[in-house]
Structure 1
Amino acid sequence: MGSIKQDIKETYLGIYETAQEKWGDFTQFLVEAWPLLIILLIGLIGVWWYADPPPPRHVVMATGSPGGSYEVMGKKYAAFFEKKGITLELLPTKGAQENIAHLADRKDPVQAAFVQAGLANSHEVRGVQSLGAVEYDPIWFFYRGPEVKERDFQAIKSRFKYFLKEKISVGVEGSGTYSQAMHILKANGFEKGLNFAYLPGAQAVEALKKGEIVGAFIVDAFEAKNVQTLISDPEIHLAAFPRAEAYSRLLPYMQILEVPAGSFSLQRNFPSENIKLMATTTDLLIDDRMHPALQFLFLEAAREINGRPSFFAERGEFPAFKNTGFQESPVALHYEKNGSPLLMTYLPFWLAEMVNRLIFVFLPFCALTYPVLLTLPGYRNKRMRRKINQLYGVLKTYEQELTDNYQPETKDEYLKKLDLLEYQALQLKVSKSMSSDYYSLRTSIDYVRNCLNRGVHPYQFQEEASGV
């Protein structure tokens, strides 16, 4: 039992002594190599700063028409960014096409934008990537007059022809509503002889309620004011999409939304039966040069703001990486698989970002620089041997002076010099591998001191002794 305790004690002492020795070697290494380490660190920081600069504190984002749902959502993103110490400037625009143009212009300061899926793709636009979809944008067609049941296709087709003879609003040219309306009408073969009004959402609602137009396409969220105004009007009807699966095949970016009977209004039992609606998605597009840290911040904002449950979306459904027509950002792909970086979960954004970037400086510095310097051929030994050899040179000089021109009155002076030389030797911090050289130096100093104390002329025989 005693031997086991002794073994444990010896093992502990061995580990402790080894740790002390390694720590001593490391601190001595820092003392000896600090100028070189500082030069390397400054160089590494310089490369890091230019190769991976910090994210900008000001970002410009294109939203949509003033008062629209995109502007409302943009303000929520701006508030989220403000809490993280970043200013998100919102730029009102006329619609999706203008947003895409801002992103595609490499000199434009806009770095992010809300754009409906299906309006453009990566084959037409360069330098734009997607961070995924952030919400559904149902395609609503509201109309006045007799209600048409969705199961009667011929009635629907006839009704559409009636609409096209009258005036319907298809949104402002260049807007997402206009583009989606044109896709649907073209898919149904209605391309000629059309009588369109190009009204923004709020004006289309007013015109439809006053009877100035008979129908209006609106692409907006269920919660949007324009949509709610028309849904709550009993004189306005909603056209469904009974052939939703066909649309989703012809227009792959389209999503099918199920609407149970009475879900819009239980009192009116509106709709009176289960219906299907078509929807595009709002995609969060970015300039592909956006800093990765900002991309993660946008994705976190989308998760917090758009990840909440809504009429059509379940909790956590957005951000979603659906068919947007644009290449997904590598950051979005990483986020889809792994979520946000761990540091962003527990630290403020600015601190997490700084620590994350510093890790990429100090890890290579600590993991590569120190071992490389330690493994340089005889780096430390040569440095220490050079110091020992310098002291040997001083000792040799003293000995040569004593041999060539010894004066008894200089004995005390040389003894002081030897004491100082020994003191300098004692200040050397040598590793165990250099111990023999270190103690040889001290022995040599002691030898010269002994010779000096031996007699009147310690380095020469007495003349009478030499004649014997």
Structure 2
Amino acid sequence: MDSFKNEVRDHVVALYETVREELQSCWQFAREAWVLIVLLLAAIGTVIWLAKPAPPTHVLMGTGSAGGSYEELAKQYAEYFKKNGVTLELVRTEGAEENIKRLKDRDDRLQAAFIQGGLLTSREEAKGLLSLGSVGYEPLWIFYRSDLLLPDEKQHINFLSQPISIGTPGSGTYLHATRLLQLNHIELSDNFKLLSNEEAVEAFKNGTIHTVVMVDGLESKNVQAMINDPRARLTGFHRAEAFGRLFPIYHVLSIPEGSLNLVRNEPPQTIQTIAPTTNLVIDPNMHPAIQLLFLQAAEKINGGRSFFASYGEFPDYKESIIEESDVAKSFYKNGAPRLLEYMPFWLAEFLNRMLILLLPLGAFAYPIIKSMPAYRLSRARSRINEVYGALKLFEQELETNYDPAQHDEYLKTIDELDKRAQKLRVPRSIVSDYYSLRTTIDFVRTLIERPVRKGEA
């Protein structure tokens, strides 16, 4: 039993001494090679910061006009961002035109916005923007007052001569409405009222507007207000298929009979309309990790089945004018990084960023790290050799110019060399070189003392 205890104690003592020696060795190495270590760490930090800085924790997003679907949708995105440690600040704007202008302005802090598809007609107009894809449909709605317009009037061109709201300049509703009017060679007149969707709803209620045109999502407060108004009737978009074929930005959607209100059987028959898509557009300078967070939010919030979309239909890249982000291309092809399935966004993003950067950096740093032990050995040998060199010069001085009167000075010099050797800290692998130096110093000391003894004899 005693032998077992002694054996255990010996193992513990050996382990303790080994760990202590290794820690002392590391500390000594750090003291000797601290310049190299600091430079390496500085290089790693600089590469990480310059090549792929950490994502921001505060992002600005435009929401469009009050009461629109963008505002409600953006609030859901803000909640998703909050759960992932990022603040998504919602900024109310006048509409698509302002959003586009601000996203193109590199001095503007706005970095994201929902924009209706089809507002930009060329790649040239879309320069300075990137798309993360489409997240839903925005149907064209035409509501008319059933108590102010006869059923046959709404089918006739004369109903356009009644007060009709087509949105405010700069809004998506206005841009789409005026485009469709121009395609039908209908010129704007005084009866076309330039009201926001929110203002149009109020004007519709008090009877100053007979017809309201909106391009907005089904979930928007303004569209819901019109659907729930018993005096409002929805008319279909004639020749919807034709517009869908002639202009790919428009998707043809069906609204089945009674699907908006079963009690009132609204609409009274199945109708068709056309719809651009809602596109998530960003500043090209947006951090890739924030782009990925937007795409995850879109998948979570917009990826389910809705009134017009089937399950998994969104998000998707359906707008070809605005260039698709590389992050979005990878997301639609490969999905989100697997790390995001097992850990919070901020941690997964950090590890992913470190992995991407440190792999090539590791290939660069590996030879330096590998050379550090050799560097330490080289430094230790160099210091031993320095003492050896000083000792050799001193020995030559003794052999050629020995002066008995300088005996005490000689001893003082050899003692200083010995102290210098004692202060050396060397790796265990070259301890033999260290003791060889100490032995050589003792040998030279005997050369000093030998002439004295001869004189005494």
Query: When the two structures are superposed, what TM-score results if normalisation uses the length of structure 2?
Result: 0.77
Q: Which residue of 2 aligns with 1:15?
A: none
Secondary structure of the 1:63 match is strand
Secondary structure of the 2:186 match is coil
Secondary structure of the 1:222 match is coil
What pairs up with 1:357-376 in 2 under 5 angstroms? 357-359=353-355, 362-372=358-368, 374=370
Structure 1 range deviating more: 323-332 or 365-374: 365-374
Work out the CA distance in 2 between the residues paired with 1:398 and 1:194: 110
Q: Which residue of 1 aligns with 2:180?
A: 184
Structure 1 range deviating more: 137-146 or 261-270: 261-270
Q: 1:311 to 1:380 in 2, by over 3 A?
A: same
Offset of residue 311 of structure 1: 1.5
Work out the CA distance in 2 between the residues paired with 1:410 and 1:124: 89
Which of 276, 280, 287 aligns to 1:284? It is: 280
Offset of residue 247 of structure 1: 1.4
Deviations 1:276-312 (A, max 9, x none): 3211111111121222222222222222332343222
Does 1:96 find its partner at 2:123? no
Query: 1:451·1:459 contact (CA, 8 Å) conserved in 2?
Result: no
Does 1:227 find its partner at 2:194? no
Query: 1:28·1:429 contact (CA, 8 Å) conserved in 2?
Result: no
Q: Which residue of 2 aligns with 1:113?
A: 113
Q: Which residue of 2 aligns with 1:75?
A: 75
Q: 1:164 to 1:448 in 2, by over 3 A?
A: closer
Offset of residue 356 of structure 1: 4.3
Which of 252, 257, 260 aligns to 2:253? It is: 257
**Aligned partner of 1:72: which letter?**
E
- Identical columns (%): 43
Work out the CA distance in 1 between the residues paired with 2:178 and 2:409: 110
Query: 1:264·1:270 contact (CA, 8 Å) conserved in 2?
Result: yes
**Aligned partner of 1:62: which letter?**
G
Secondary structure of the 2:142 match is strand
Deviations 1:384-435 (A, max 9, x none): 442231132243245346543579989998997787577567x42165xxx6
Structure 1 range deviating more: 239-248 or 320-329: 239-248
Which of 418, 439, 450 aligns to 1:446? It is: 439
Offset of residue 181 of structure 1: 1.5
Query: 1:240·1:275 contact (CA, 8 Å) conserved in 2?
Result: yes
Which of 309, 312, 315 aligns to 1:316? It is: 312
Deviations 1:87-134 (A, max 9, x none): 333222222112212222232222222211111254124311111112
Structure 1 range deviating more: 44-53 or 169-178: 44-53
Query: 1:139·1:219 contact (CA, 8 Å) conserved in 2?
Result: yes
Q: Which residue of 1 aligns with 2:450?
A: 457
Work out the CA distance in 2 between the residues paired with 1:66 and 1:293: 29
**Aligned partner of 2:216: which letter?**
D
Q: 1:351 to 1:146 in 2, by over 3 A?
A: same
Q: Which residue of 2 aligns with 1:17?
A: none
Work out the CA distance in 1 between the residues paired with 2:408 and 2:229: 122
Q: Which residue of 2 aligns with 1:62?
A: 62
Offset of residue 137 of structure 1: 0.9
Offset of residue 37 of structure 1: 2.3
Offset of residue 222 of structure 1: 1.6
Q: Which residue of 1 aligns with 2:292?
A: 296
RMSD (Å) for aligned C-alpha atoms: 4.0
Q: 1:194 to 1:415 in 2, by over 3 A?
A: closer
Work out the CA distance in 1 between the residues paired with 2:452 and 2:357: 60
Work out the CA distance in 2 between the residues paired with 1:454 and 1:196: 116
Q: Which residue of 2 aligns with 1:138?
A: 139
Query: 2:234·2:266 contact (CA, 8 Å) conserved in 1?
Result: no
Deviations 1:199-237 (A, max 9, x none): 222333344455544422111222233323333445433
Q: 1:91 to 1:421 in 2, by over 3 A?
A: closer
Q: Which residue of 2 aligns with 1:428?
A: 426
Secondary structure of the 1:333 match is helix
Structure 1 range deviating more: 49-58 or 291-300: 49-58
Secondary structure of the 1:278 match is strand
Secondary structure of the 2:218 match is coil
What pairs up with 1:154-165 in 2 under 5 angstroms? 159-165=155-161
Does 1:334 find its partner at 2:330? yes
Work out the CA distance in 1 between the residues paired with 2:23 and 2:388: 28
Work out the CA distance in 2 between the residues paired with 1:93 and 1:410: 90
Query: 1:384·1:430 contact (CA, 8 Å) conserved in 2?
Result: no
Which of 238, 244, 247 aligns to 1:248? It is: 244
What pairs up with 1:24-63 in 2 under 5 angstroms? 32-63=32-63
Query: 1:255·1:279 contact (CA, 8 Å) conserved in 2?
Result: yes
Deviations 1:303-361 (A, max 9, x none): 23323432222343322211152111222222222333444444444444444444556
Work out the CA distance in 1 between the residues paired with 2:204 and 2:415: 110
Q: 1:308 to 1:39 in 2, by over 3 A?
A: same
**Aligned partner of 2:135: which letter?**
V
Q: Which residue of 1 aligns with 2:6?
A: none
**Aligned partner of 2:130: which letter?**
Q
Q: 1:206 to 1:410 in 2, by over 3 A?
A: closer
Where structure 2 has 5 or more consecutive residues not aligned to the other structure, the ranges are 1-21
Work out the CA distance in 2 between the residues paired with 1:93 and 1:422: 77
Deviations 1:7-34 (A, max 9, x none): xxxxxxxxxxxxxxx9999998756433
Query: When the two structures are superposed, what TM-score results if normalisation uses the length of structure 1?
Result: 0.76
